[in-house]
Amino acid sequence: MTVTVEERFAIHDLYAEYAAAIDEFRLHDWLELFDEECSYRIVPRENFAAGLPLALVLCESKDMVRDRVVALLEANEFAIHTDRHLVSGIRFRGRTGDVVRVDADFAVFQSNSEGEGSVFAFGQYIDEVVLAGGRARFRSRVAVMDNSCVPHAISTPI
Amino acid sequence: MTVTVEERFAIHDLYAEYAAAIDEFRLHDWLELFDEECSYRIVPRENFAAGLPLALVLCESKDMVRDRVVALLEANEFAIHTDRHLVSGIRFRGRTGDVVRVDADFAVFQSNSEGEGSVFAFGQYIDEVVLAGGRARFRSRVAVMDNSCVPHAISTPI
Amino acid sequence: MTVTVEERFAIHDLYAEYAAAIDEFRLHDWLELFDEECSYRIVPRENFAAGLPLALVLCESKDMVRDRVVALLEANEFAIHTDRHLVSGIRFRGRTGDVVRVDADFAVFQSNSEGEGSVFAFGQYIDEVVLAGGRARFRSRVAVMDNSCVPHAISTPI
């Protein structure tokens, strides 16, 4: 399994832009990081490990991701926190044509309206990335949350 | 906007060395990561978002950064914590000649003299990096803190 | 001191795989990231800074690392947490032939059986990496823990 230098950078840039788009609340930009054919899920680690289908968030098409963006932008009037994603350990697991299996690790910190911060979530991304025309997009992203017992509801994407 | 492979690595190395210089308390080395013409600021996220000028730390020249190093080294007799920076999501935002606009995300963990650790700060770097002679230096660095309500005073740089 | 593009990627991949092997509890894979001639230690920051030899974990050969894997796999029946490593700031400190001195920063988050998460440990890796045949392996790894006062015993590797 091989990725070229350019492909490796395109994938790293995708991961960096994904985090920034959420943390800067540019959700339309976030949407455009997904391929036309895509899925997005947030799954508790124990469910993922057991092969159980239950997801905290489940979008099985780009239209479902788009609906989520619309809902989040409407809910934003009541936004009471901001997110900060840290991502490391990007690793290449396999390749089928232009689709690369990629894993990575994430931690999300949140700050509330009082400026108080804490660790919100951490876990693993399990992804399929499509490479086309020098760009990388998510065919599928599964965010597996280690700490499924989160202190409050998940609203913004992970 | 394009950075070459070598420039990308030079920028990554700059970010890694910046974190290490602070965490290893090599503050003279930290100073030399700034260009002769430079600025350094730590700004709360809400102020930054609102365009307000208030900064927690403000150095508008390299001499002001140098003064800060001297003050920190004198205060070090009373140092009661150590820092650990994690940085990810380095992304290239634009370029004008040899100056590249770069963003990244950071989290700083601190340990006190009892060996107890906690998350101290997290947020976003908003930078201008000068590339010259195969090296990268900060023309300007703004550390935007998401958690402006920090548990204790900021002393070492972020 | 120079590493080639390919060597840089091989080292980055080693660091990503090291974190994943522990977090996915693939300890035999973790073992194989060490060179035949190797050592592995976890040391509190204050001991490391003072040059004191006391280590929280000390493996002075690959057989000792292997013994640790066996012990951990046996103890796994009682596993009550999962780990998540974030690693950044990989930096190249020197080179002697095929052996590269590398530093990096880490944070380890843990989740317990209730799905509650927290920061477990953070600090610095101080490593010697052997490059051979396009692969990178640890000749030695020292995990220096900033927060030596950990909330519970260290079991899985850092």
Secondary structure of A110-151 in HEC code, one letter for each residue: EEECCCCEEEEEEEEEEEEEEEECCEEEEEEEEEEECCCCCC
Mean pLDDT of C102-123: 95
pLDDT tens, residue by residue, B93-112: 999 999 999 999 999 999 99
Query: Up-side HSE of residue A78: CA atoms within 13 Å toward CB?
Result: 5
Among A17-26, A67-76, A100-109, B105-114, which stretch is predicted with the lowest mean pLDDT?
A67-76
Distance from CA of A63 to the nearest CA of C (A): 31
CA distance A68 to A55: 15
CA distance C39 to C60: 5
**What's the pTM?**
0.96
Cross-chain Cβ contact B116/C5 below 8 Å: no
| Chain A residue closest in CA terms to C88 | A88
Please tell me the predicted confidence (pLDDT) of residue A79.
63
Contacting residues of B for A109, CB less than 8 Å apart: 107, 119, 122, 146-147
Residue A93 has pLDDT above 70, yes or no: yes
**CB proximity B109 to A under 8 Å:** no
Give the Cα-Cα-Cα angle B72, B144, B102 (nearest 5 degrees): 100
Q: Which of A88, A105, A145 is the best substitution to test chain C (most C C-beta atoms within 10 A)? A: A88
Q: Which of C8, C88, C154 is the best substitution to test chain B (most B C-beta atoms within 10 A)? A: C88
Q: Which pLDDT band holds residue A88 (cuts at 50, 70, 90)?
A: very high
Mean pLDDT of A1-18: 95
Q: Which pLDDT band holds residue A109 (cuts at 50, 70, 90)?
A: very high
Residue A67 backbone class (left: φ over 0; alpha: ψ -120 to 50; beta: rest)? alpha
Of C90, C123, C149, the CB nearest to B16: C90
Mean pLDDT of A86-91: 98
Task: Report residue A108 as tokens.
Answer: 């999300």
Whether C44 and B115 have beta carbons less than 8 Å apart is answered as: yes
Please tell me the predicted confidence (pLDDT) of residue A14.
98
Please tell me the predicted confidence (pLDDT) of residue B15.
98
Whether C39 and C57 have beta carbons less than 8 Å apart is answered as: no
pLDDT tens, residue by residue, C32-77: 999 999 999 999 998 998 999 889 999 999 999 999 999 998 876 5
Please tell me the predicted confidence (pLDDT) of residue B153.
73
Q: Which pLDDT band holds residue A84 (cuts at 50, 70, 90)?
A: very high
φ/ψ of A10, rounded to 5, equals: -60, -40
In this prediction, the residues of chain B whose per-residue pLDDT falls under 70 are 1, 76-79, 151-152
